[in-house]
Amino acid sequence: MIDILLIYPPYLSKHKSPPLGLAYLAAFVEQQGYKVKILDMNPLGLTLSDIEDSIKKNKPEIIGISFMTNQFGNALKVAQTCKSIYPKIPIILGGNHVSALPEEAMEYDFVDFVILREGEITFRQLVEALDKGIENWEKIDGLVFKRDGNIIKNRDRALIEDLDILPFPKWDDFPINAYSEKILGVSEELPVFSVFTSRGCPGKCAFCSSHTAFTRRFRKRSAENIFSELQFLEEKFGARYFNFIDDTLTIDKKRVDELCDLIINTNKQYRWIANARVNTVDKEVLKKMYMAGCRNICFGVESGDPEVRKNVGKGIAGEQIKNAHIWAKDAGLIVSSFFMVGNLGETWESIEKTIALARELHSDYPTCAIATPFPDTRFMEEAEKNGWLITKDWNRYITNPHIDQDYFPVSTNGILSAEELLEAYYKVNAAFAKIKLTTKYGERYLFNPEFYTKEIGSRIKKLGISDSLQLGWKLLKGGFN
C-alpha cells in the first residue's frame, strides 16, 4: 500500500522523456514522510485497460494526474476509472493544460481538485490537509476545488524563488531504459537523463504555453546545485548522458560557464544536449559547452521569413540565426534547428523563405512542425477571435503529423487552409530531408551505402514497413510541390 499514486497518462508519441513534474512532486512530499509511487504509463507498457489493476494493487489514499493538452482525454479516462474503484479517493489534476483551463476539468464530477502552475508547495499543503481531514481548501494558494456545487479558484501561489531548495526529482519509479531520447553525435546508446536547470522563459512567442506553469520570470538553479544532481544521477543510476530540457539553457551565460567549469575541472566524461536561443549564445560559450561534453544544441528558428518571426514575437534577427549556426558548428556541435509552418501571417512565400534559410544554414537536423494554438497562448486568442479554429478536441492538439496517420490541423492561420498547411508541412519536410542527407552523406547520398543502412533501415525499424512507406510517399509528393 502507498499513500499517493501519481499517474502520467498514455500519449501518442512513441518517444518521450520522463514526466519530471511528477518526479519533483514525489520527491517534495516524500520529505514529509509520505510514500509515493509514479506510473508513467507508456514506457511501463500500461494501457487504459490496465489501470484498474494498478490502482487495486497499489491501494493509494490520494491520486494525482498530470498531463499535457493532447493527453486530456486519456487523463479523464484514468481519473474516471480511479473514482469508479474508490469513489471517495481524492482525484487531483495538474499540469499546463488544467492550469490554463481549470474550470473545464472541474466540471467533471470525478475530479476533486486542480493544482495551478508550479505545484510542489500547493500539492504538499493539500496532501497534508487531506491526511489530517482538514477541509481548509480556501487557505491553500494555487488550488481549485468545489464547495456546495460551486467551483472555487483560489489566488495564484507565489513562485518558489530559490529553486536550490527543491529536492532532486525522484527517478526510482521510472523505467529508465524505456525512454527514447538519444544524444546526436554519440555512438554509444545509454539512457539519457532529463534535467531542469531553471523555470520561466522571458520569451513571448505567440505559439508557446510554457509560461502557463512557470510564468515568464526566469528563475535559476545554481551551477553547483545542477552539478550535484548530475553527480547524484551518476552515482545512483550510472548516468553519463543528460538532456537539459529548459526552454533556453543559455539565458544566463555566466551560469553556463560555471557549470561547464565544474564538469571540466572534475574530468567528468558527461555528454549532453541543450536548447538555446540564437541571441543568447556566442563563440566562447559554445566552445566551452563542447569542451564540457555538449554534443547537440537545438535552436528555435521557427521561420525563414522575418515578418513571421516578428508576428510571433520571436525577437531574433536573420544575422543572429546564421551566426549562431556557424559558431555552433565551428565549435564541433551538431545543430538541430526547429521550424514551423502555419504561424501568424505565414504565406506560401514565407514557406519558401523557410526552405531557403534552412539550406543556407546547413543545419544537421532541421525539423518542422505545424504551428498549433494551445490554450493560454496569443495564437489561441487570435484563432478564437478570428474564427480560425477547426476543433477544440484537445486529443488532436499535436504538432507533428508523423505521430498520427489520421492527423488533420486543428486550426488555420487565416491565410493557409488546413489542406495547405499539410501540403506545406510535407513540402518543407521533403526539403529538410534532402538537406539532412546531403549534410550527412554528401550530394551523392543515394550512392552511399551508409544512407541505406542508417537511414532507411533505422526508419523501418522505428516505424515499421507500412508506416515508413506512407511517410516516404508523403515526403516524395511534398518534394514535387
Instruction: Identify the pLDDT of residue 436.
Output: 75
- Answer left, alpha or beta for residue 329, where phi above 0 means left and psi between -120 and 50 means alpha: alpha
CATH 3.40.50.2300 in the chain is located at: 4-153
* Matching residue, cell 512542425: 369
Per-residue pLDDT band at 480 (split at 50, 70, 90): very low
pLDDT tens per residue across span 431-473: 998 887 776 666 666 666 666 665 666 656 555 666 555 655 5
CATH architecture of the domain formed by 181-480: Alpha-Beta Horseshoe (3.80)
Question: Among positive and negative, which fits the CA dihedral 312, 142, 200, 21?
Answer: negative
Can you tell me the mean pLDDT for 78-101? 96
Share of the chain above pLDDT 90, in %: 80
CATH dotted code for 4-153:
3.40.50.2300
Question: Is residue 79 predicted with pLDDT exceeding 80?
Answer: yes
- Cα gap 275→392, rounded to integer Å: 30
More confident residue, 368 or 14: 368
Per residue in 313-372, pLDDT (tens digit) is: 999 999 999 999 999 999 999 999 999 999 999 999 999 999 999 999 999 999 999 999
User: What's the CA gap between 172 and 40, in Å, rounded?
Assistant: 12
The b/e string for 189-211 (b: 16+ C-beta within 10 A; e otherwise) is eebbbbbbbbbbbebebbbbbbb
d(CA 335, CA 318): 16
Asked whether the predicted pLDDT for residue 27 surpasses 90, the reply is yes
- Specify the pLDDT at position 433: 87
pLDDT per position as a tens digit, 156-190: 999 999 999 999 999 999 998 887 666 766 766 77
At residue 162, the pLDDT reads: 97
What is the band of 21 on the pLDDT scale with cuts at 50, 70, 90? very high
